[in-house]
Amino acid sequence: MESHGDKKGRFQKTDSKVAIDILKLEGIIQSKPISIAICPTNEENHISVSLENQLLIPELSIIEKKDKYGGKQYAIRDLELTIDEYKFTSQFNVTSIYLNEVDIILGLSWMETLGAIILNMKKKFLTFPYKKKQIKLQDVSMKSDSEDVSSEDFKDISKMISQEDQKSRQKMQKEFDKVIKDKEEEISRLRDHNQKLLFQIKKAKDRAQDHQKIEEENRDLQKKLLELKDDAKKQEETIRNLKNAKDLVGNKLVHIQKRTSKLLGSKKQVEENKANTNPVINTDKKEVNPANEQTIKTPYRHPNYKSHFDQ
């Protein structure tokens, strides 16, 4: 805990607030008696700079924010205030309050937390429900008078409270019925949406099954294609082998033809050599002279034979 009495410069330049109070009360903060004004014209709760400097406020409880004019403003959160039997904790803006000459201003935001209230401006008191009983806050100017609330006033108060409670119950019932109706409509919309989602899920499953079938067919086709490719490779290999065999046979035929030609040439040469070395004279051939019709025998000469007389 840290006191901020030594940090008077922090809150001294804030603008003063002009408030119209309807009740002035007495209360206690940290065992210090304080003066309180209820001002519904103020939106928020306020605490004076002088009182803030007297209190022990934790550093973490002081926050900085902007006011409605965009200026810098400080506030104290979680500050407990006691008024007779009534205790509450709230946030208070630190403000220079001089006009009202009070320490605390309770604004409209505080009054809205009370629920159903009864405000008697003539007798200057405020009643509201608190912890299952009615709290009465009396203006300090009326406490000096020993005037108490009469039984008629209590009857009127009870009647007004009963009416307010009935109105509140009726209003709550209407709001509850409206909420139930809205929820039922929302549930109906959600059911329709769920039905649509289920239908879409079913369609997606069907598409997935069809897609699975197509994938299986594609796998079968790919398998067959691979088999065809393998067969084509085998056939190409067979064709290459046949071409190689054809080339080999062709080479062998060429070789055979060359050898045959060589053999034929060799045979012809042998025959020619044989004819040249052994000429044959055939004496059986006769030449007939038609003049005397006598047969003249001439020796046979081989066409290739040449004697020394022919040279």
The predicted structure's pLDDT at residue 82: 94
DSSP result, 226-288? HHHHHHHHHHHHHHHHHHHHHHHHHHHHHHHHHHHHHHHHHHHHHHHHHHHHS----TT-EEE
Cross-strand bridge partners of residue 128: 135
What is the identity of the amino acid at 116?
A
User: Which residues in the chain come in under a pLDDT of 70?
Assistant: 1-19, 97-100, 144-162, 164-165, 278-311
State residue 2's pLDDT score. 41
Q: What pLDDT does residue 110 have?
A: 93
pLDDT for res 1:
39
pLDDT tens profile 76-110: 999 999 999 999 999 999 987 655 578 999 999 99
**126, 44 contact by CB (below 8 A):** no
Q: Please state the separation of Cα 259 from the chain's center in Å.
A: 87
Three-state SS string across 76-117, please?
Answer: EEEEEEEECCEEEEEEEEEEECCCCCCCEEECHHHHCCCCCC
SS3 149: coil
Contact predicate 85/144, CB 8 Å: no
Please tell me the predicted confidence (pLDDT) of residue 158: 60
Q: Give the pLDDT score at 262.
A: 84
Q: Centre a 10 Å sphere on the Cβ of residue 60 and count the other Cβ atoms it contains.
A: 9
Specify burial of residue 96 (Cβ count, 10 A radius: 0-12, 13-18, 19+). middle
Whole-angstrom CA distances from 2 to 7, 53, 76, 281, 284 are: 11, 11, 13, 163, 168
> How far apart are alpha carbons 176 and 174 in whole angstroms?
5
**In whole angstroms, what is the distance from residue 80 CA to residue 37 CA?**
16
Predicted local confidence at residue 291, as pLDDT: 53
In this prediction, residue 14 carries a pLDDT of 40
pTM for this model (two decimals)? 0.43
Q: What is the reported pLDDT for 57? A: 87
Give the pair of three-digit tokens for residue 190: 């959600």
Q: What is the mean pLDDT of the chain?
A: 79
pLDDT (0 to 100) of residue 28: 94
Sort 172 into a burial class: Cβ within 10 Å, 0-12 / 13-18 / 19+: exposed
